């Protein structure tokens, strides 16, 4: 059932003036009725108007509004703006967003029409960016943040690193940051960045008949290149692999966050707000049940009947392994006899745990994200709740694109943790860290541990190469 909202609420959702909303009501662009001396507007009509006009707004344009009272942030690879929302919550004014995907651009235009919007990062230089963001020559940039496309480094992909075109935009982003010289900049990426080579050599071109792998071709070569470039530029840095659940997100989602500081100092780690079992006196991880209840409307994909047959037999938190043995074999087919845990097959989520990492499609056979009790995948609205987007956040495009936008996003709480830390550093606020806090389930994920591990890898590789040259290999 459709609801009605006030002119003021409509203006906030569209990011336009109240007077402009009145005009839209009078001319019939919005479905509205007079209530006394004012208008009330049909919410569904407002939603359709936003989607209908998004493509006209989602052209490149400069910033329409500037807030000189807040620290200035610029966003690249903005996506659906999960990281941006978190940075905003921490107190920053996001002057500019840069995004190439057309549906994400429409989403940005729907929700932040006054923010400068740029397209392909390769089309702009530092002067273009300063101009479009409404920055004068004397204006300092406090923060630049971005998560370059992660597929080039993902453990699920071919791991081509910087040989991939998407890896090349990573380098473009890095060089733009170093040229614009913000006080701080942030690189967000997947865990695969920790082990991806700078240059990928096909496996068929490795062996005794080929030259030894170079340092750039070793595991971790890409990150080593980035760190060397930061050191040469005078930026200090720190990084870790952060589990979003430790910052209040009802989801186990791990991302590498590299914090870079122009003053050459090593930034502290992000400050957790939650812990798995309540360590350090922090609240326990948020659960799925806390976030996806009380949603009035759901847009979702469907499971085929052949999978629903099994879902009807599963309880919250169960998967195919909880079926009777004969049904396990029937449901899994040849996959039953293959290795691996296969925990994503026929998986119902648990109420009392955070969600697993959201994927871009909740109904793929190997990464099912089924509702704990209902016979369906998670809905778009539940995706938004888990990633902590506001309920009113408008998503452009067909449903599969909406899933993709939210599934690729940075959780808002993780973004807020990044923004809060940098805001406090900008303002000289003391930062108290939890000693030996377990940020992730993996080892050697902090900058110091990782650098030591990579140094040993290089030494072993050089020693092996030397032995081979001497005829001992």
Active-site residues: which are they? 150
DSSP string, 220-287: THHHHHHHHHHHHHT-EEEEEEEEGGGGT-SB--EEEEEEEETTS--PPPP--S-BSS-GGGPPBPP-
CA–CA distance, 70 with 25 (Å, rounded to integer):
34
Helix-helix angle 447-469:221-233, to 10 degrees: 120
DSSP string, 169-216: HHHHHHHHHHHH--SEEEEEE-GGGGT--SSPPPGGG-STTSPPPPGG
422-430: which pairs have CB atoms within 8 A and are 24 or more residues apart? 422/90, 422/142, 422/143, 422/184, 422/186, 422/259, 422/267, 423/71, 423/90, 423/91, 423/92, 425/184, 425/261, 425/267, 426/71, 426/142, 426/183, 426/184
The first and second tokens of residue 426, run together, are 């900008």
Q: Token match 């910033």: residue? A: 63
CA–CA distance, 186 with 115 (Å, rounded to integer):
19
Please state the φ and ψ torsions of residue 334, each to the nearest 5 degrees: -65, -25
Residues, the chain, total? 473
User: Maximum CA pair distance of the chain?
Assistant: 94
CB 279 within 8 A of CB 298: no
The first and second tokens of residue 285, run together, are 């991880």
Alpha carbon dihedral 456, 458, 459, 461, in 10-degree steps, equals 120
């Amino acid at each position: 059932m459709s609801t009605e909202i006030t002119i003021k609420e409509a203006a906030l959702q569209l990011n336009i003036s109240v007077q402009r909303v009145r005009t839209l009501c009078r001319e019939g662009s919005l479905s509205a009725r007079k209530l006394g001396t004012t208008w009330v507007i049909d919410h569904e009509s407002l939603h359709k108007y936003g989607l209908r006009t998004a493509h006209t707004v989602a052209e490149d344009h400069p910033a329409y509004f500037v807030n000189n009272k807040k620290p200035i942030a610029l966003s690249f690879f903005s996506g659906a703006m999960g990281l941006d929302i978190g940075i905003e919550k921490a107190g920053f004014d996001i002057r500019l967003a840069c995004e190439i995907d057309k549906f994400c651009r429409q989403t940005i235009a729907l929700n932040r029409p006054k923010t400068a919007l740029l397209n392909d990062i390769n089309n702009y230089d530092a002067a273009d960016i300063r101009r479009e963001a409404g920055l004068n020559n004397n204006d300092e940039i406090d923060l630049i943040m971005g998560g370059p496309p992660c597929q080039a480094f993902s453990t699920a992909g071919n791991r081509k690193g910087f040989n991939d075109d998407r890896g090349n935009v990573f380098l473009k982003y890095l060089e733009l940051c170093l040229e614009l010289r913000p006080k701080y900049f942030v690189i967000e990426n997947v865990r695969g960045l920790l082990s991806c080579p700078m240059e990928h050599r096909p496996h068929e071109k490795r062996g005794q008949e080929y030259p030894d792998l170079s340092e750039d071709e070793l595991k971790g070569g890409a990150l080593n290149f980035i760190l060397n470039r930061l050191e040469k530029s005078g930026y200090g840095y720190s990084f870790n692999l952060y589990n979003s659940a430790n910052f209040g997100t009802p989801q186990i989602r791990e991302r590498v966050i590299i914090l870079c500081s122009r003053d050459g100092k090593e930034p502290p780690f992000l400050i957790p707000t939650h812990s798995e079992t309540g360590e350090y006196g922090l609240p326990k991880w948020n659960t799925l049940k806390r976030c996806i209840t009380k949603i009035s409307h759901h847009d979702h994909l469907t499971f085929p009947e052949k999978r629903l047959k099994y879902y009807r037999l599963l309880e919250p938190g169960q998967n195919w392994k909880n079926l009777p043995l004969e049904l396990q074999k029937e449901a899994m087919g040849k996959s039953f006899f293959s290795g691996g845990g296969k925990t994503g097959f026929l998986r119902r989520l648990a109420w009392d745990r955070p969600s697993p990492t959201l994927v871009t499609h909740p109904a793929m056979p190997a990464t099912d994200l089924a509702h704990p009790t209902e016979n369906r995948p998670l809905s778009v609205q539940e995706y938004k709740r888990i990633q902590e987007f506001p309920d009113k956040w408008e998503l452009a495009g067909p449903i599969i694109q909406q899933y993709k936008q939210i599934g690729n996003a940075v959780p808002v709480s993780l973004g807020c943790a990044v923004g809060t830390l940098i805001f406090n550093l900008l303002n000289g606020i003391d930062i108290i860290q939890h000693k030996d806090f377990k940020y992730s389930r993996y080892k050697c994920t902090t900058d110091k541990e990782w650098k030591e591990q990579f140094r040993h890898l290089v030494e072993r590789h050089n020693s092996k190469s030397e032995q081979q040259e001497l005829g001992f290999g």
